[in-house]
Amino acid sequence: MSNFSSGDAVLKVEGLVTSFRTDDGTVTALDGVGFDIGRGKTLGIVGESGCGKSVTSLSIMGLLPSGVGRIDAGKILFEGKNLATLPEEEMRDIRGNKIAMIFQEPMTALNPVFTAGEQIIEVFMTHRNMDRSAAYKAALSMMEMVKIPDPERRLEEYPHQMSGGMKQRVMIAMALACKPAVIIADEPTTALDVTIQSQILRLMQDLQKDTGTSIMFITHDLGVIAEMADDVVVMYAGQVIERADVVTLFDHPLHPYTKGLLASIPHVGQHRDKKLSTIRGSVPSLMNLPAGCRFYGRCPYRQPECEQTRPALESHKGAHEVACLFAGRIDAGEIKPNYEALGGE
C-alpha cells in the first residue's frame, strides 16, 4: 500500500547527526535523521518549530554556520558522493547547481543592493561559465519561466521594488537556473499571504512537472503538505518519528504525535473533539532530552516503558515507518489515549 522510498532516490540521508556548539554546551539538533527523496518526487518535511527542519536542509547544503555547527555522523548520498564529507570546493559546484535552495524570507533572502537580474545572472556565470550577455539572456528566460510579467523591466529592479510574491518568484528563478536535481524549499510560502501562497505552490508544481526536479518541501503547514508532497517525513525534536507516502500518512497516521498534528487541522463541517485538537505541552529542550521517547511528556498513549526505552524508527507495514514502541498496539486499538494523565484541561 505504501510506495515510500522506491529504489530510485536522488538524495539519500542516513543517520544524520548534526550538533551546534553554544555557550551552554553542545546541542545535538539532529539525532539520526534519515530519509530518501525520490526522483521527480516531492518529499514533505513537517514538524513543530525547532525540531530541526532547517538544520536538516543546511546540513545537506553544507551551509551550517562554520565553527558552530557540524555534522558528527551520518551520510548524505547524492550522485554517488557523500555530501557530509565532501570538500568545500566540490560542495560549491553542487550548491545552486545540482541542489538549490529557496528560503522562507523573500524580504531578506535577496541582496537589497543588487538588481534581481544581477542575482540571477551570477548563478549562470558561476556554474555555466557564461559571459554576461549570455547570462542575461538566460536570466530573462528564467524570469519568463516563473511567469514574471514584464521581465526585462523586472530584471533591472531591486528587491525593495517588488512584492513578496514577486521576490519569491525571483528566488525560484534563481534556484531553477541550473536545472538542479533537487530543490530544497524551506517554508517558501510561509511569509506570503494566502492567495499569493497558492500561486507560488502552483508554480512550483508546474515547474516540477516541466523539469522533473525533486523537491524537499519543508513546512509546518499540513495543508500545504497534503497539496504538494508525495512522501512525508515527520520530525520531532531532532528525530524522524514517522515516514510514509502522503496518502498513507493522512489516512492512517501511526505515531501519537502525527495523530495529534493531523487532528489539529480544522476540517470543514466536522465537529472536532476538543481534546484532540491540540498537542499539549511543548517540545523538550535539546539541552535536556529525556532518556526514552522524546514525545513521552506529551503523549496521551504513553506507557511506563516509554520513559526509559528509546524507540527506533521501524517499518510498520511495508515502507510506512514509525518510531513508537506501541504503534502496533495503538493501531489495533489496544491502547486508548489518556488525556487526564497529562494533566487536566
Partner 1 sequence: MIQYVIRRLLQMIPILVGVTLLIFFLFTFFGEDPARVALGSHATPEKIAALRAKWGLDKPLIMQYLQFWREILTADFGRSFVSGERLSEMFKQGALVSLAVTMPPFIMGTVLNLIVAMLVAWYRGTAFDRFMSVIFTACMSVSFLVYVLLLQYFLAYKLDLFEINGFIPGLKGLPYLFLPWIILMIVHFGPDVRLYRSILLEETKADYVRTARAKGLSEKQVMFKHVLKNAMIPVMTYTVVEVPFLVMGSFVLEKYFSIPGLGDLLVSSVNTGDFPVIKGVTIMIAVAYSLFNLLTDVLYALVDPRVKLS
CB of 64 to ligand ATP, least distance (A): 8
122 binds, among ligand ATP, partner 1, Mg ion, none (CB under 5 to 8 A by kind): partner 1
Which is nearer to ligand ATP, 55 or 229 (by Cβ)?
55
141 binds, among Mg ion, ligand ATP, partner 1, none (CB under 5 to 8 A by kind): none
What is the phi/psi pair of residue 332, to 5°?
Answer: -80, 0
List all residues 6 or more positions away from 251 whose beta carbon is below 8 Å from its beta carbon.
none
Beta bridge partners of 300: none
55 binds, among partner 1, ligand ATP, Mg ion, none (CB under 5 to 8 A by kind): ligand ATP
Q: From 89-97, 128-136, 228-236, 306-314, give the range in contact with partner 1 by CB under 8 A.
A: 89-97
Which class for 16: exposed (0-12), middle (13-18), buried (19 or more C-beta within 10 A)? buried
Tell me the number of residues near partner 1 by CB under 8 A: 29
| Window 63 to 92, contacts with ligand ATP (CB under 6 A) | 65, 68-69
Q: Where do runs of H (alpha helix) occur along 110-232?
A: 116-127, 132-145, 151-155, 164-176, 194-211, 222-228
Show the cell assigned to 120.
Answer: 540571477
CB of 43 to ligand ATP, least distance (A): 15
Show the cell assigned to 66.
Answer: 562554520
What DSSP state is assigned to residue 285? P
- The answer to whether 254 and 320 have CB atoms below 8 angstroms apart is yes
Which is nearer to Mg ion, 138 or 229 (by Cβ)?
229
In a 3-state reduction of DSSP, which class is residue 75?
A: strand
Q: From 2-10, 53-61, 169-177, 289-297, give the range in contact with Mg ion by CB under 5 A.
A: 53-61
Beta bridge partners of 27: 20
Applying CB under 6 A, does 108 fall inside the site for ligand ATP? no
List all residues 6 or more positions away from 162 whose beta carbon is below 8 Å from its beta carbon.
116, 154, 170
Binding mask 233-262 for ligand ATP (x = CB under 6 A): ------------------------------
d(CA 118, CA 8): 36
d(CA 54, CA 231): 18
Q: Of the candidates 7, 80, 87, 112, which one interacts with partner 1 according to CB under 8 A?
A: 112
- The answer to whether 245 and 230 have CB atoms below 8 angstroms apart is yes
167 binds, among Mg ion, ligand ATP, partner 1, none (CB under 5 to 8 A by kind): none
| Window 31 to 70, contacts with partner 1 (CB under 8 A) | 61, 63, 67
Applying CB under 8 A, does 304 fall inside the site for partner 1? no
* Degrees to nearest 5, angle at CA 28 with 27 and 33: 160
d(CA 281, CA 345): 11
Applying CB under 5 A, does 54 fall inside the site for Mg ion? yes
Applying CB under 8 A, does 113 fall inside the site for partner 1? yes
Applying CB under 6 A, does 29 fall inside the site for ligand ATP? yes
Q: From 51-59, 86-94, 109-117, 138-146, give the range in contact with ligand ATP by CB under 6 A.
A: 51-59
Q: Of the candidates 8, 72, 114, 163, which one interacts with partner 1 according to CB under 8 A?
A: 114
List all residues 6 or more positions away from 300 whose beta carbon is below 8 Å from its beta carbon.
256, 260, 337, 338, 339, 341, 342
| Window 120 to 149, contacts with partner 1 (CB under 8 A) | 122-123, 126-127
Report the C-alpha dihedral over residues 11, 243, 51, 58, rounded to 10 degrees: 0
- The answer to whether 43 and 35 have CB atoms below 8 angstroms apart is yes
Binding site for partner 1 (CB under 8 A): 61, 63, 67, 92-97, 100-101, 103, 105, 108-115, 122-123, 126-127, 158, 160, 171, 174
Binding site for Mg ion (CB under 5 A): 54
Binding site for ligand ATP (CB under 6 A): 20, 22, 27, 29, 47, 49-55, 65, 68-69, 220, 286
